Amino acid sequence: MSEIKNVLVSGGLGYIGSHTICQLVQHNYNPIIVDNLSNSCLEVLNRLEIINNRKFKFYQLDCTNLEELEIVFKENKIDAIIHFAAYKAVGESVKEPLKYYFNNLISYLNIMMYLEKYKVKNFVFSSSATVYGIPNHVPLFETDPVQKATNPYGSTKIMIEEMLEDYSKVHKDINIAILRYFNPIGAHPSGLIGEQPNGIPNNLMPYITQVAIGKLEKLTIFGNDYPTSDGTCIRDYVHVMDLAEGHVLTLNKFQKENTGLVIYNLGTGKGTSVLELVNAYMQANNIKIPYVFGPRRQGDVVSNYASTKKAETELGFKAKYTIYDCCKDSNHFQQLNPNGFVKINK
Ligand code: NAD
Ligand code: UDP
């Protein structure tokens, strides 16, 4: 229950981090950005400065480097940490488990060491709906069991959630929020920042946007024989600006009360099928997306979407953007940035 001003945002130049920076600024928080550029680039910082019409304190460093990381804490009075920095590609994590365990777990542990040493009282962790595994019902509630992960990426999220629970039991004065994201899509309305994966995208929305600009020929929909109304899988697609807002609302709550450890789903509470998303994209942007049906993707969950009741009641979180807004904003970003984050002048 203390004032929060300076917020260390690890992974702050990444997709969700960069949008969260904008929302933090809107709500008068002062973000201090840490990123090693392993999945982002300096141009994102340039664009954040254009959008927000201000400079940011930025540390290009790796959170796994204990010595370098301490500089941030020595040079700034950190009031809260939002920890985004992690690798996130499920398939790659299966092929290179050590890389994922090392980066995600060591980054987390180092950050927590300094949280304790420098008496930071507020911590927000980026978790994922993946911790629910194969759901036996939808919507998913925060009280639903966490299931054994099917890949090392998911394991790192579950392990860190468990470590946070252990930590919280003996440090009840620290506010800790585990935010379980569903499927973030969309981009900042300016079109200056958005999702920019390396290589051929694995996720649905960036694949669609690259088909939309002709970079990829057609979308393959993985399976149309699932037990859903149109046979394709269902997810909870949430606009990244809404998701970013969820972090601000969490910090607002931290300022008002001592929460201990809290867990929130961040989604829309609505399921959308792959076909519905593709059709919404075509309608919203008046673009044709050629697609074919292919075999199921191994390990895919048929349907998952959030119950957002808890986040709504306790945080005041409610997704404002529709699926059409998401499709428009994703497309806008991709059309403006067909070749990624090319340098633009201020
Ligand atoms: P992202 O890859 O765009 O952003 C992560 C950022 O962290 C990148 O800028 C990368 O350069 C940086 N980074 C990685 N390792 C680092 C390290 N050791 N030190 C410093 N910086 C490092 O990913 P995102 O989509 O913005 O995801 C952010 C967080 O949210 C991640 O923890 C991810 O697991 C989690 N998450 C993402 C999704 C999703 O679909 N995007 C869903 C659920 C959870
Ligand atoms: N999907 C698809 N074609 C693609 C990429 C994804 O049909 O090229 C489907 C995928 O099978 C899943 C949905 O889109 O049903 C969302 O996939 P994504 O990887 O974006 O999210 P996740 O499955 O990790 O929730």
Contact 220, 305 (CB under 8 A): no
Prediction pTM value: 0.98
Choosing from 87, 100, 108, 153, the catalytic residue is 153
- 272-273 and 234-235: which strand pairing? antiparallel
Q: Which residues contact residue 136 at a Cβ distance below 8 angstroms, ignoring those fewer than 6 apart? A: none
Ligand nearest to the CA of 271: 2
For the CA of 85, the closest atom of ligand 1 is: 7
Give the chain's end-to-end CA distance (angstroms, integer). Answer: 39
Give the CA count within 13 Å in the CB-facing half-sphere of 237: 26
| Cα 84 to Cα 213: distance, rounded to the nearest angstrom | 29
Q: How far is CA 287 from the centre of its chain?
A: 27
Average pLDDT over residues 246-270: 98
**Could you tell me the distance, in angstroms and rounded to a whole number, from the CA of residue 229 to the centre of ligand 1?**
33
Q: What is the dihedral of CA 157, 162, 168, 174, to 10 degrees?
A: -10
Ligand nearest to the CA of 196: 1
**pLDDT of 345 over the 90 cut:** no
The per-residue pLDDT for range 102-129, each reduced to its tens digit, is 999 999 999 999 999 999 999 999 999 9
Under DSSP, the state recorded for 237 is: E
Contact 274, 221 (CB under 8 A): yes
Query: Residue 245: which pLDDT band, with cuts at 50, 70 and 90?
Result: very high
Contact 224, 232 (CB under 8 A): yes
User: Is 52 strand, coil or helix?
Assistant: helix
**pLDDT of 268 over the 90 cut:** yes
| Cα 251 to Cα 259: distance, rounded to the nearest angstrom | 11
Residue identifier of the C-alpha nearest atom 43 of ligand 1: 128
| Cα 62 to Cα 302: distance, rounded to the nearest angstrom | 36
Average pLDDT over residues 68-86: 98
How is residue 115 written in tokens?
Answer: 């949280």
| Cα 326 to Cα 318: distance, rounded to the nearest angstrom | 15
| Cα 151 to Cα 120: distance, rounded to the nearest angstrom | 32
Please choose, from the candidates 164, 38, 155, 48, the residue with its C-alpha nearest in 3D space to the C-alpha of residue 111. Answer: 164
Active site residue 153: yes
**pLDDT of 1 over the 70 cut:** no
